């Protein structure tokens, strides 16, 4: 068996393997092939940086990657891992990742990330064996989004530098708040307290849970001032 990228196989062959690997999965996967073609296109899936295990030319396992930039650096996001049932417990995912991470690195993609359903202990163990660790936990909800026809939403990419980090979203007040404090990021403001000199202890747990302690303190202060002014 050999590992290779998926640039030379047809998308239909990949989808066939995907559907077999995801049979009986926690979430019922759509069987319409166009769904995957559109979804992967929208997600920037790149088959040059997606990889598979081939047994005598037949695809038996895969890791599908979308490639994009985050904070100016290329990152690979795993949008699907699967191994045909009869090929499982042979370390195939491990072998694909061994090849993939090296190939990605050599091509300038130095970060790799993925999401996995918490119940999927098999997959979590498998990813941990490769070297991944859990950095965030999400709550996922499903439902129908109701949008008025008149609602127009324009989504556009903004350069980090063009954002006015000093305007608070709730009150619109101007203040200087440390906007990012993750150790590897390029923080715009390295201070660990806000202009009013309220000390805020920062931790990676808060960072990964999306809890901006600096902003919380400012909001608390604004609310206290507002209620004091009313009385």
Ligand X SMILES: CC(C)(COP(=O)(O)OP(=O)(O)OC[C@H]1O[C@@H](n2cnc3c(N)ncnc32)[C@H](O)[C@@H]1OP(=O)(O)O)[C@@H](O)C(=O)NCCC(=O)NCCS
Q: Which residues bind ligand X (CB under 6 A)?
A: 21-22, 25, 81-83, 88-94, 116, 120, 122-123, 125-126, 129
Nearest-5° Cα angle at 41, 37 to 43: 120
When the beta carbons of 21 and 104 are compared against ligand X, the nearer one is: 21
Give 191's Cβ-side CA count (13 Å radius). 11
When the beta carbons of 25 and 71 are compared against ligand X, the nearer one is: 25
Closest separation between CB of residue 147 and ligand X, Å?
30
Closest separation between CB of residue 90 and ligand X, Å?
5
Closest separation between CB of residue 82 and ligand X, Å?
4
Q: What does the CA dihedral 192, 194, 199, 200 come to, rounded to 10 degrees?
A: -60
When the beta carbons of 44 and 120 are compared against ligand X, the nearer one is: 120
Closest separation between CB of residue 93 and ligand X, Å?
4
DSSP H stretches of helix in 23-150: 33-42, 92-106, 121-130
When the beta carbons of 126 and 178 are compared against ligand X, the nearer one is: 126
Q: Which residue is nearest to ligand X (CB)?
A: 126
What strand order describes the sheet that includes 51-55?
A: 2-5, 51-55, 58-70, 73-83, 111-114
């Amino acid at each position: 068996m050999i590992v290779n990228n998926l640039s030379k196989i047809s998308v239909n062959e990949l989808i066939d393997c995907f559907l077999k690997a995801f049979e009986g999965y926690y979430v019922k996967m759509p069987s319409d092939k166009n769904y995957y073609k559109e979804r992967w296109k929208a997600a920037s899936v790149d088959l040059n940086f997606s990889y598979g295990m081939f047994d005598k030319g037949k695809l038996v396992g895969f890791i599908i990657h979308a490639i994009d930039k985050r904070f100016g650096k290329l990152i690979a996001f795993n949008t699907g891992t699967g191994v045909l049932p009869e090929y499982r417990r042979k370390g195939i995912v491990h072998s694909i990742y061994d090849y993939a991470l090296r190939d990605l690195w050599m091509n300038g993609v130095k970060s790799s990330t993925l999401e996995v359903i918490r119940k999927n202990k098999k997959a979590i163990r498998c990813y941990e064996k490769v070297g991944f660790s859990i950095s965030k936990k999400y709550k996922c909800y499903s439902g129908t989004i109701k949008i008025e026809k008149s609602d127009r939403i324009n989504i556009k990419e903004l350069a980090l530098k063009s954002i006015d980090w000093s305007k608070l979203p709730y009150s619109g007040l101007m203040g200087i708040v440390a906007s990012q404090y993750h150790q590897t990021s390029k923080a715009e403001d390295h201070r660990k307290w806000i202009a009013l000199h309220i000390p805020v202890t920062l931790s990676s747990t808060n960072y990964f849970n999306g809890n901006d302690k600096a902003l919380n303190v400012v909001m608390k202060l604004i609310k206290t001032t507002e209620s004091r002014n009313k009385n």
